[in-house]
Amino acid sequence: MGDLHSQMEGHVAAGDWRNAEALAQQAADNGDASFLHGLAHQREEAGDLEHAEALYWKAFQTGATGALTSLAMSHDRSGNEEKAVALCQRAAGLGDSTALLLLGFHQEQAGNHEAADVLYQQAADGGHPEAQWQRIRMLETAGDQQGAETLAQQMVGTSVGPFIGDSSSIGNFTILSSGPGLANASPLCRLALLREETGNRSDAEALAQQAASNGNTSVLASLAHTRMYAGDLAGLETLAQQVVQTGNGDALYEVARALDRAGHREGAEALYRQALDAGAPDAWFRLARLRAAAGAWADVEALTNQALEDGDPRALQEMARLREWAGDVSGAEQVWRKVLESGDPTAMVRLVGLRARAGDREGAEGLAQQAIGLGNSIDILSGLAKRWEGAGLREAAGRLYAQAAEAGDPTALRRLAWLRETAGDRESAEALAQQAADDGSGTALYGP
pLDDT mean over 261-280: 91
Percentage of the residues of the chain whose pLDDT score is greater than 90: 28
Quickly count: other Cβ atoms within 10 Å of residue 338's Cβ. 15
Ordered alpha helix ranges (H), 64-217:
66-77, 81-93, 97-109, 113-125, 131-141, 145-154, 187-197, 201-213
CA distance 71 to 124: 22
The Cα 396–Cα 388 span in angstroms is 7
pTM for the structure as a whole: 0.58
Range 33-55 average pLDDT: 92
Q: How many CB atoms lie within 10 A of CB 47?
A: 7
The pLDDT value recorded for residue 359 is 84
The residues of the chain that CATH labels 1.25.40.10 are 315-376
Mean of the per-residue pLDDT values for the chain? 83
Residues 225-231, mean pLDDT to the nearest whole number: 83
**Strand, coil or helix: 185:** strand
In the prediction, which pLDDT does 2 show?
60
Strand partners, 174: 169
Cα gap 367→88, rounded to integer Å = 68
* Separation between Cα atoms, residue 95 and residue 407, nearest integer Å: 65
The residue with greater pLDDT, 439 or 246, is: 246
Residues in the chain: 448
Q: Per-residue pLDDT averaged across 276-283, rounded?
A: 90
Q: CB-based contacts of 169: which residues, under 8 Å, 6+ apart?
A: 76, 77, 105, 175
The residues, ordered by sequence, that sit 6+ positions from 383 with a Cβ below 8 Å of its Cβ are none
- Using DSSP, state whether 379 is helix, strand or coil: helix
Sign of CA dihedral 194, 197, 199, 202: positive
Tens of pLDDT, residues 383-427: 888 888 888 888 888 888 888 888 877 778 788 888 888 888 888
The predicted structure's pLDDT at residue 183: 41
- Lowest-pLDDT range, 7-11, 203-207, 281-285, 432-436? 432-436
pLDDT of residue 156: 65
Q: Which residue has the higher pLDDT, 431 or 298?
A: 298
User: How far is CA 211 from each of CA 35, 175, 181, 207, rounded to the nearest angstrom?
Assistant: 41, 25, 15, 6
Residue 165: is its pLDDT beyond 90?
Answer: no
| CATH classification (class only), 315-376 | mainly alpha
pLDDT at 174: 38
* Nearest Cα residue to 117 out of 129, 126, 127, 105: 105
Output the pLDDT for position 160. 52
